[in-house]
């Protein structure tokens, strides 16, 4: 059963058209070139844990892809995030995460299991969203589709991309291999993967093991010196160029926010 897309707002600023939508009750946003009605590639952005579909990182990446490449960009709120209600389970896991943080205990085990739980719900939501987006004339069913998500965006994105052959290039990074190495082994599309060399949460060997798991003949690891939250901004520029290279858009400069 296909669930269609309902637009709930439509505005434009600085060359970017922004339309809020829902698909089967899941709230999303579609950013598009203001000036170009032609069919163009689509990049899906999966946000990180604790933030939402329009957080500055996502909005800045969308802006770079729209203005630098002429692409469409869509994001949806993950379960329990943004404009969506939290369940009791969500509240328990978030409490457990903050308790571990306060106690100086490892956050990894909680993040790993909670993100795996969220991915089970989020993967069919992403697939239904993509179904609906592809019914739009300016996107269509045959064009290239990319996925870009780091942290929780990778925990949801790897099983999503492994399950959906419409995605033809992806940027992932910064997660543990526990639940993700198996679906990563089924991924063969070009992948760019970000890892922080001095990540205080994700052991280096765990990050490298997840990169190693992808079956993609073209895969690139970008490992930067620094801690978990210090992923350099130039990696956003690099990801924009990665999609531009694979989807045939003009190479973008340094427009990512």
- Buried-state track 90-128, b at ≥16 Cβ within 10 A, e below 16: beebbebbeebeeeeeebbebbbebbbbbbeebbebbeb
Interaction of residue 60 with a second copy, rule CB under 8 A: no
Interaction of residue 229 with a second copy, rule CB under 8 A: no
Among the listed residues 88, 148, 156, 153, the one whose alpha carbon sits nearest the alpha carbon of residue 124: 156
Interaction of residue 61 with a second copy, rule CB under 8 A: no
User: What is the rounded distance in angstroms from the CA atom of residue 65 to the CA atom of residue 145?
Assistant: 13
Find the binder of a second copy among 97, 121, 223, 228 (CB under 8 A).
223
Find the binder of a second copy among 7, 135, 197, 257 (CB under 8 A).
197
Find the shortest distance in angstroms from Cβ 195 to a second copy.
8
Helix (H) or strand (E) holding 239: helix 234-247
Find the binder of a second copy among 3, 178, 220, 228 (CB under 8 A).
220
Site for a second copy in 141-170 (CB under 8 A): none
Interaction of residue 219 with a second copy, rule CB under 8 A: yes
Interaction of residue 234 with a second copy, rule CB under 8 A: yes
Find the binder of a second copy among 146, 222, 239, 243 (CB under 8 A).
222
CB of 75 or CB of 169, closer to a second copy: 169
Find the shortest distance in angstroms from Cβ 74 to a second copy.
26
CB burial class (10 A; 0-12, 13-18, 19+) of residue 55? middle
Q: What is the DSSP letter of 18?
A: E
Placement of tokens 């599309």 in the chain? 189
**Contacts to a second copy by CB under 8 A:** 197, 208, 211-212, 216-226, 232, 234, 238, 245, 250-251, 253-254
């Amino acid at each position: 059963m296909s669930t269609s897309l309902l637009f709930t707002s439509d505005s434009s600023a600085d060359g970017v058209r922004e339309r809020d939508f829902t698909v089967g009750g899941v709230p999303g946003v579609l950013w598009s070139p203001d000036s170009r009605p032609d069919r163009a590639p689509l990049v899906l952005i999966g946000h990180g844990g604790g933030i939402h579909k329009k957080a500055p990182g996502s909005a800045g990446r969308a802006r770079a892809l729209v203005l630098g490449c002429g692409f469409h960009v869509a994001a949806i709120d993950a379960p329990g995030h943004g404009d969506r209600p939290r369940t009791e389970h969500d509240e328990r896991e978030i409490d457990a995460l903050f308790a571990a943080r306060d106690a100086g205990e490892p956050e990894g085990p909680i993040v790993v299991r909670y993100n795996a739980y969220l991915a089970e719900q989020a993967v069919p939501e992403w697939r239904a969203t993509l179904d609906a987006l592809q019914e739009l004339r300016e996107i269509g069913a045959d064009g290239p589709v990319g996925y870009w998500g780091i942290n929780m965006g990778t925990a949801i994105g790897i099983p999503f991309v492994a399950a959906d052959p419409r995605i033809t290039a992806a940027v992932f990074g910064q997660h543990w291999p526990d639940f993700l190495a198996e679906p990563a082994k089924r991924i063969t599309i070009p992948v760019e993967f970000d890892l922080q060399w001095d990540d205080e949460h994700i052991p280096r060997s765990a990050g490298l093991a997840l990169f190693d798991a992808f079956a993609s003949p073209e895969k690139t690891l970008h490992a930067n010196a620094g801690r978990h939250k210090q992923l350099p901004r130039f990696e956003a520029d690099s990801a924009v160029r990665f999609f531009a290279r694979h989807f045939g858009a003009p190479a973008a400069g340094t427009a990512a926010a």
